[in-house]
Every structure is written in C-alpha cells, then in structure tokens.
Amino acid sequence: MSSAVRRRLDRLATVLLGLVAFSILGIVLGILGDIFLKGRRTVTWEFLTQIPLDGMTRGGVFPAIFGTVCIVVLMIMMALPLGVLAAIYMVEYAGQGRIARVIRAAVNNLAGVPSIVFGLFGLGFFVLFVGRNLDRVTGRDLLFGQPAMLWAAATLAVLVLPVVIVSTAEALMAVPRSLREAAFALGATRWQVVRGVVLPQAWSGILTGAILSVSRGAGETAPILFTGCAYYLPRLPVVRLTVPLLGIQVPMVNPLDQFMELSYHIFIMATQSHNTMLTRPIQYGTTLVLVGLTFTLNLVAILARRRLSRRVVKA
C-alpha cells in the first residue's frame, strides 16, 4: 500500500470511530428527548401530588413516587452498612489473600446475576422462607409471609450490594498506602487506621457509590414484581403509631404493607391496563418522573466523582 492510501485509511478509521462514539450521545438524546417531549405536558403539580383516579385513567402518581422513595431508603439502609463493612474487610483486612480472591469472585458473580433471578430468590427466600417461618415462630396467621415493602427492599438490597461493595472498595484503594503506613508506624492498630485515616478520605467516594445504588434500585422492576409491588392501592402504606407516654399518634411507613412503585407503574400501565392508548400520556408522564429522579441522582454522582478524581490527582 502506498503511504497516501495508508494515511487516508488512517483518517477514515479515526473519523468512523469518532462518529460511532458520538452516536451514543444520539442514543441518549433520542431516548431522553422522546420521553421528555411527550411526557412534559403531563407532568404538572397535580400529576405529582394526586392519587390515580377513574380506574387509573386520570389523576397522578403520588403513591408510586412515595413508594419508590420509601423502598430505596429502606434498601440503602440495609445495603450500605453491609456493603461498606464488607468492602472494608476485603480491602483493609483480607489484603491479597485467598479469602479476598474468593470474596471478589463472589461479588463479581453477584453483580452478574440476572435481575429476574433476584425476583425468584426474593419470593422463595425472603417472602416464603423467612417470612413464613417468622409467622410460624411468632404464631401469627399471615403477617410476614406475604409480599411486602420490607422483602422488596431486602431483595433490592441484595441486588445493589455489589455496587456498594465495588465502589467502596475503589474508594478505599484510592487512599494512598503511604498514609496507612505512616499511621501504622506511629503504632495505630488496624481499626484505628481504618477509622481515622482511610475512612475520612474515602467517605465521598462511598457516598457516590451509595447515590449510584439508590438510582439503580429506583429503576429496577424485575426483583420487586413478586416481592411487594401492588397494581393499585387506594391508600399509602402508612400506619398510625401511638407514642406510649405522650398519647399522640404519629404516622409511620409500614414496611409490612404493599406499595406502588414508579417503574412497576410504567410496566402495568403500558401492558396490563385495559386501554393502553388512552393512558399513554400517563405512561409518558410516569416515565419522565422516573427518568428525572434517576437522571438527577446519576448526575450528582458523576459530578461528585469527577470532582473527587480531580482532587486526588492534585494531592
């Protein structure tokens, strides 16, 4: 090949690769733009604050928003402590040994498990095994052993656990070794090094991971299909608890109740409702709300991470 042909081929390849890379921007804009343009008109203040009306052909999605927020809060309350402590053990204690390798392999495999398998597992383990046995032990008829917010959140927590562990481990490993060595040289114990030296440096990275997991959990549908989602609930999953001494009633989220959820709401409105064409604006509106929620969370996480990496580079 003559050098002119080779140079032209080189230029062509560069341009083509660049075009393909930027086509991803096209995909993102295509999906988000479609959702935004068609859902924009539906999403009003009333849509966000009302309950579904007239057999879910009018009204808003407030119960679904409420349920989504409740379930991801419950989920991250379970997944964050477990995942952070697991990552601390993996990075700071297990080192490069065989146990660390096995844990890492387990985490990777857990991350690769299909989301619908988590749904099967949630139903078989949390609802039917843990729940039914709790009922038997406490002598109740059917309190724990049925789909509920608690079990859905637990299932989602298992799903996002790898995300929490991996991002925490990355944050921990980004802390320079010299800092640890300095602390050890001063006589600090391992836990003192972790708590006093490593964690303060890694917090923002861990929080970024937590935000990403919340966003992931808010968007997942398959794991909660059988573990707690409700097609339609006329009330919020809230109970009134009486404070023992003061005698006042306080509303509290009831984790043993079923709930409505945004992604599940999109699914049933788009496939199960009796007139899917009629409710299309509601479907677009709900999708836009979900996209807005996860998009905001992701943007925060991406910006936080970028800021973080810049700071680490400077240091």
CA–CA dist 3, 119 (Å, integer): 58
Residue 190 interacting with another protein (CB under 8 A): yes
Member of 208, 213, 254, 283 binding another protein (CB under 8 A): 283
Residue 290 interacting with another protein (CB under 8 A): yes
Residue 56 interacting with another protein (CB under 8 A): no
Return the number of the residue (190 or 240) whose C-beta is nearest another protein.
190
**Residues in binding contact with another protein, number by CB under 8 A:** 104
User: What's the number of CA atoms in the CB half-sphere (13 Å) around residue 71?
Assistant: 41
For the packed helices 62-88 and 199-219, what is the interaxial angle rounded to 10 degrees? 140
CA–CA dist 208, 164 (Å, integer): 9
Q: Which stretch binds another protein (CB under 8 A): 56-64, 95-103, 235-243, 248-256?
A: 95-103
Which amino acid makes up residue 41? R
Residue 298 interacting with another protein (CB under 8 A): yes
Taking the complex as a whole, the smallest distance from the CB of residue 11 to another protein amounts, in Å, to 8
CA–CA dist 150, 280 (Å, integer): 31
The residues, any chain, with a CB within 8 Å of residue 141's CB and separated by 6 or more, are 135
Buried b (16+ CB within 10 A) or exposed e, 32-45: eeebbebbeebbee
Residue 6 interacting with another protein (CB under 8 A): yes
Residue 158 interacting with another protein (CB under 8 A): yes
Question: Are residues 171 and 161 in contact, defined by beta-carbon separation less than 8 angstroms?
Answer: no
Taking the complex as a whole, the smallest distance from the CB of residue 273 to another protein amounts, in Å, to 13
Q: Which stretch binds another protein (CB under 8 A): 47-55, 59-67, 238-246, 282-290?
A: 282-290
Nearest C-alpha neighbor of 140 from the set 149, 148, 131: 131
Taking the complex as a whole, the smallest distance from the CB of residue 40 to another protein amounts, in Å, to 15
Q: Please give the residues from 27 up to 46 whose contact with another protein meets the rule CB under 8 A.
A: 27-28, 31-32, 34-35
Return the number of the residue (6 or 240) whose C-beta is nearest another protein.
6
Residue 289 interacting with another protein (CB under 8 A): no
Q: Please give the residues from 217 up to 276 whose contact with another protein meets the rule CB under 8 A.
A: 218-222, 225-226, 263, 266-267, 270-271
Q: How many CB atoms lie within 10 A of CB 107?
A: 21
Nearest C-alpha neighbor of 82 from the set 186, 153, 173, 32: 153
Return the number of the residue (59 or 292) whose C-beta is nearest another protein.
292
Return the number of the residue (79 or 236) whose C-beta is nearest another protein.
79
Return the number of the residue (58 or 280) whose C-beta is nearest another protein.
280
